[in-house]
Structure 1
Amino acid sequence: MKAEEFADSPTGILIPIQGTHPRFGPWEHVAFVPSPLPLETPTLSATTFNAVARARAALASLDSSARQLPHPGLLRRPTLRREARLAS
């Protein structure tokens, strides 16, 4: 995470975190803590509502397909590794 990209965010704050890695010793970093979501549901335009509905349908279709795989972890692990590499 590039902390400078989150430094003055209106959607949350950065907090210092620290720990000790068993091999590399102590470390310090920052974590982004998002602001709470509002209690009221936002008003969406028709275009946005339709986009959300299409995304939800696509996720449902993907979920249905994934449930038919004998070992879904075979696809999940490489995807999570790739995402972790891209995010770091």
Structure 2
Amino acid sequence: MSVMETLKLWADFHVGQQMYAYDHFDVVESKSYWRPVSKTYLVCAWLRELLSGVRDARLCGFQGWVYCMVKDGEYTTQELMGLNDEIEVL
């Protein structure tokens, strides 16, 4: 992920862009499915990891933790999704 993509991700997240969490991979359709997550859910997940002593949550703060989670593939934004990614309707 380039520096420009990182800055764009952070800027988009600050203005309320929807974030998505990885849900599952469908082998038949060869697609990854993502589900929408709220900012409240993300803050709670960060706090859980912070209290558990997870290094990224402790050292990077919330925005840095979100960046690490996006980089590792657990969360993404719609514009960072690939062609074989689908948003799961809940």
The reply to whether TM is greater than 0.5 is no
TM-score of the pair, normalised by structure 2: 0.23
**Structure of higher CA gyration radius:** 1
Q: Which structure has the higher relative contact order (CA within 8 Å, separation 6+)?
A: 2
Q: Which has the higher helix share?
A: 2
